[in-house]
Amino acid sequence: MSDNHSHHIIVPVKYYVATFVALLVLTFLTVYVTRFDFGALNIYVAMLIAVMKASLVLLVFMALAWDKGFNRIAVVFALLFFGIFIAFTMADISTRGSVEELEAGTHNINSPVRPLSESSKHNKVHH
Amino acid sequence: MSTATGKNFFEAASGWKSWLFTLDHKRIGLMYLAAVCIAFGLGGLFALLLRLELLTPTQLLFSAKQYNQLFTLHGAVMVFLFIIPSIPASLGNFFLPIQLGAKDVAFPRLNLASFHIYIFGALFCLYSIFAGAIDTGWTFYTPYSTQSDTSVISMTLGAFILGFSSILTGVNFIATIHKMRPKGMTWFRLPLFLWAMYATSVIQVLATPVLGITLFLMILEVSLGIGIFDPALGGDPVLFQHFFWFYSHPAVYIMILPAMGIMSELVTTFCRKNIFGYSFVAYSSIAIAIISFLVWGHHLFVSGQSEYATMLFSLLTFLVAIPSAIKVFNWLVTMYKGSISFDTPFLYFLSFMFLFSIGGLTGVFLGTLSIDVHLHDTYFVVAHFHYVMMGGTVMAFLGGLHYWWPKMVGKMYSEFWGRISCLLVFIGFNSVFFVQFIMGSKGMPRRYYNYLDQFQPLHAFSTFGTWILGLGFIIMAVYLLKSLKSGEKAPDNPWGGLTLEWKTTSPPPLENFETVPEITHDPYDYEKAGL
Amino acid sequence: MSNAAPVVEHHVAHHFDTAEQEFETAKLGMWVFLAQEVLFFSAIFVAYIVFRHLHPEMFLEASHHLSWKLGALNTVFLITSSFTMVMGVRSAQVNERSASIKYLIATLILAGAFMVVKYIEYSEKFHHGYLPGKFFFGEGSHETLHLFYGLYFAATGLHGLHVLIGMGLILWLIIRSLRGEFYSDYYTPVEMVGLYWHLVDLIWIFLFPLLYLVG
């Protein structure tokens, strides 16, 4: 016996359609910005667009925009600790020094990578 | 007051299927209790054996490899099979809904799944013990763990599976506390055990998956050789340590927070007094949960981590000690001018106060960078974590077990033997571990199979201590099991507690209460209750 | 537009007081689980950030071996599937059972398409020797190239596993929908699987630029 009907918010279809279109546009943008070189900022631009897409999915498709308090807090804390994980690990990695040395590959590893042969050099970039 | 129908939850159904497929949180809690006690016995056996080997400076009974396997299995079994689930899954499962005033946890089927997953994971671990027992240390550091010829994959799979059990318990508890509080049970009328369980669940949910992915990546490393942790392939072994400790440091707070919750229950009941600083104790549980995620690098001080990261972690480690200290202070002040009864549960409370304080303070020493450089990987560390895990968590677990035993099974145990056992455990524990502080500060390295002759007297003393400790536990098992058969029938409220579980029968009925009492006062309001 | 067959009525579990409480509790539980999922993938992203920081040129080369077109196609598949999924949930909310089932089937097909593209990509990689770890025999001018591919396979493999699990859950929903188990007063499982499915989409939204569009 359903004594109480759910008082759930029914989101109008137009919100979903608009979000879907926006996501497609942003996906196009994700690829389009790779034509421009922002140098060290490249990754941040890409991530900014990704965050915008993610926010649309979270707020509209997953209804966080209309949800009660704790669900949002759960997301915030997950992202916060994820951020701390990245930040503190990078605090170690990025301050160890000798990054140039690592890049130059001076530590004689057992690499399984075969050196590029002459014929395959032009195959580097795929369609 | 006895139930109208006269039926408690044991009588509600019978047969092994009514246990294995139960949805009753109380039965699930009891099954977990049995399982973690067996795990404790197994882990303890490994400890007895490895300490036996350490009676003499050179080989006595085991080879070097077997010794490595012994301490690895002792650690892995104790951490993953015993201590992480110990309080939350057993006492937490049984009492969280009752103390809350609910009929069950939010997701009973998930709860049962959690238990089945635990058993499944435990079987994997047991299998790995017999199929080339792992010898890497319970911390599985690379690159050795990716090269060892022992059962690394099955043990890590076992731990991975156990992680899911832990996560699902956490999800269940968070949902239950948020959504199933009856009328009048506001957040600030929750018993402090529930605040502790909530904070524990937050850590379980957010930290355990990182262990999961770490073990997953390690399995890929072992089986496929992807190379991210292997310096010979261009990877970084310290990266593994970062990943591992990002979980394992918060994990130690999964271990201690429930214990602290029990401490709040014990001190209020056995001093017949309201807790001093309720909100401080409640908030400090949350603070511990949050800050615990910020300090993992203190396990990496001498690993090759950069100096800047090391300094950051050392500073944050000092911070995490503060909320714990607040709790200890508040419990102590609660005792002041209380009406104290020295029943067995309270003796465990007192043991915790003394032992955890030592453990916690020595943690601050180890968090001090300049000192840790000398003490890292010595017996000082071993003593520290045993003082907090055993002197802390296990003492509180035993206190909670003895406190809630009458409520769970409806029988009283022998108070005389309870006190004897507590004394033996206390003396035995200190005999084993206090000398380890001394050994460690004199340079005795941990996980070493052989050692210099000068350490033998202390090692031997420590080993003798394990026998006293073992005796204490054997006596405990005997009188607890005996009480099931021939113990005095327990009243509804043998200790005069005020929280909701004491307002129902011993054992409780299937749906916990005949009628859920209305909550009109704070959980430890002895003054208002006129007692 | 509305159901033809009789509806299977849902009974609120005994430990809940109202259907509303039951629904909100399920939702909260699912969000907590999703928070856990974020942390589950976290270490792969941390490893990515670490190695990209240490070997930026190698990442550039490695990424060029991935087909950004296939990656973009997969992104479109998943975003569309998120749309069809949420429409499926909404249809259940407003008692449009057959629409709900159609949207769920569409979601399933899009998820399948994603896996097909993945299969094509993996086969191509294997063919050129870009395999995980010790099976790697591909060519490259950076000796640490295999590290990228280790992470690539770990990340996309784990994500792919989540897609497969999602497909199983959606199939389960379709079956239950056909039986008439979901209607406006009870569509909780549809909503829960929907939330899970959106997370799968979210993870891919980040994986796509990080793996396919370096530089």
pLDDT tens digits for C157-179? 999 999 999 999 999 999 999 99
pLDDT tens digits along B315-355 = 999 999 999 999 999 999 999 999 999 999 999 999 999 99
What is the pLDDT, as a whole number, of residue B1? 39
pLDDT tens digits along B497-511 = 999 999 999 999 999
Round to whole Å and give the CA distance between C192 and C89.
9
Query: Given a cut of 60, is residue A101 above it in pLDDT?
Result: no
Can you list the pairs that B364-367 forms with residues at least 24 positions away whose Cβ atoms lie under 8 Å?
B364/B317, B364/B318, B364/B321, B366/B298, B367/B295, B367/B298, B367/B314, B367/B317, B367/B318, B367/B321
Query: Given a cut of 70, is residue B79 above it in pLDDT?
Result: yes
C24 in reach of chain B (CB within 8 A): yes
Give the CA distances from residue C197 to residues A15, C79, C104, C140, C168, in Å, rounded to whole numbers and listed in that order: 19, 10, 11, 36, 11
Higher-confidence residue of A6 and C195: namely C195
Q: Which residue, C176, C4, C32, is CA-closest to B208?
A: C32
Q: Is the ipTM of this complex over 0.85?
A: yes
Per DSSP, chain B holds a count of helices (H) and strands (E) of 19, 2
Cβ-in-10-Å burial (0-12, 13-18, 19+) of A57 comes to: buried
Round to whole Å and give the CA distance between C73 and C71.
5
How large a percentage of chain C has pLDDT more than 90? 83
How large a percentage of chain C has pLDDT more than 70? 97
How many structural domains does chain B have?
1
B326 in reach of chain A (CB within 8 A): no
Round to whole Å and give the CA distance between A59 and A51.
12
Residue pair B106/B179 in contact (Cβ under 8 Å)? The answer is yes
Residue pair C48/C155 in contact (Cβ under 8 Å)? The answer is yes
Domain ranges of chain A: 8-66, 68-105
User: How many other CB atoms sit within 10 Å of the CB of residue B335?
Assistant: 17
Chain C residues whose beta carbon lies within 8 Å of the beta carbon of residue A53: 79, 205
Give the CA distances from residue B220 to residues B138, B228, C148, in Å, rounded to whole numbers and listed in that order: 18, 10, 14
Out of C27, C36, C210, whose CB is closest to A71? C27
Q: How close are the terminal C-alpha atoms of chain C, in Å?
A: 49
Is B276 domain-assigned? yes
Mean pLDDT calculated for residue range B408-424? 97
Q: Of the ranges A36-40, A112-116, C173-177, which is most confident?
A: C173-177
Is B132 domain-assigned? yes
- DSSP per residue over A25-45, as a string? HHHHHHHHGGGS--GGGHHHH
Residue with tokens 């990245």: A86
* Single-letter amino acid code for the residue at B241: Q
Give φ, ψ of B411 to 5 degrees: -130, 150
Contact criterion met (CB < 8 Å) for A74 and C185: no
Query: Given a cut of 60, is residue C144 above it in pLDDT?
Result: yes
Quote the minimal CA–CA distance from B374 to chain C in Å. 30
A12 in reach of chain C (CB within 8 A): no
Per DSSP, chain C holds a count of helices (H) and strands (E) of 6, 0
Is B62 domain-assigned? yes
Domain ranges of chain C: 33-212
Round to whole Å and give the CA distance between B339 and B268.
10
Is B404 domain-assigned? yes
What is the pLDDT, as a whole number, of residue B515? 83
What is the pLDDT, as a whole number, of residue A1? 36
Quote the minimal CA–CA distance from C43 to chain B in Å. 6
Query: Given a cut of 80, is residue B482 above it in pLDDT?
Result: yes
Q: What is the CATH number of the domain that holds B415?
A: 1.20.210.10
Mean per-residue pLDDT over chain B, rounded:
95
Residue pair B98/B501 in contact (Cβ under 8 Å)? The answer is yes
Out of B206, B232, B297, whose CB is closest to A88? B297
What is the pLDDT, as a whole number, of residue A106? 45
Q: Which residue, C95, C99, C97, C114, is CA-closest to C197?
A: C114
Mean pLDDT calculated for residue range B433-456? 96
Contact criterion met (CB < 8 Å) for C139 and A71: no
**Confidence label for B530 from pLDDT (cuts 50, 70 and 90):** low
Give me the torsion for CA of A37, A39, A43, A46, rounded to 10°: -30
Mean pLDDT calculated for residue range C63-71? 93
Instruction: State both tokens at B77.
Output: 């079994």
What is the pLDDT, as a whole number, of residue A126? 45
Q: Please identify among residues 69-108 of chain A the ones whose CB lies closer than 8 Å to any CB of chain C.
A: 70-71, 74-75, 77-79, 81-82, 85-86, 89-90, 93-94, 99, 102-103, 105
Q: Please identify among residues 91-110 of chain C the ones whose CB lies closer than 8 Å to any CB of chain A.
A: 93-94
- Identify the weakest region by mean pLDDT among A92-106, B173-187, B231-245, B465-479: A92-106
Out of C23, C65, C215, whose CB is closest to A42? C215
Mean per-residue pLDDT over chain C, rounded:
93
Query: Given a cut of 90, is residue A127 above it in pLDDT?
Result: no
What is the pLDDT, as a whole number, of residue A120? 53
- DSSP per residue over B366-387, as a string? HHSHHHHHHHTTBHHHHHHHHH
**Confidence label for C135 from pLDDT (cuts 50, 70 and 90):** confident
Residue with tokens 């280790």: C150
Cβ-in-10-Å burial (0-12, 13-18, 19+) of C75 comes to: buried
pTM for the full predicted model: 0.94
A95 in reach of chain B (CB within 8 A): yes
A7 in reach of chain C (CB within 8 A): yes
Round to whole Å and give the CA distance between B241 and B249.
11
Out of B175, B227, B243, whose CB is closest to C29? B175
Quote the minimal CA–CA distance from A81 to chain C in Å. 8
Residue range of the domain that includes B78: 28-511
**Confidence label for A100 from pLDDT (cuts 50, 70 and 90):** low
Mean pLDDT calculated for residue range A98-106? 52
pLDDT tens digits along B361-401 = 999 999 999 999 999 999 999 999 999 999 999 999 999 99
For domain C33-212, say whether CATH 3.40.50.1820 is its number. no
**Confidence label for C138 from pLDDT (cuts 50, 70 and 90):** confident
> Which residues on adjacent β-strands are paired with residue B412?
B488
| CB-based contacts of A35, cutoff 8 Å, min separation 6 | none
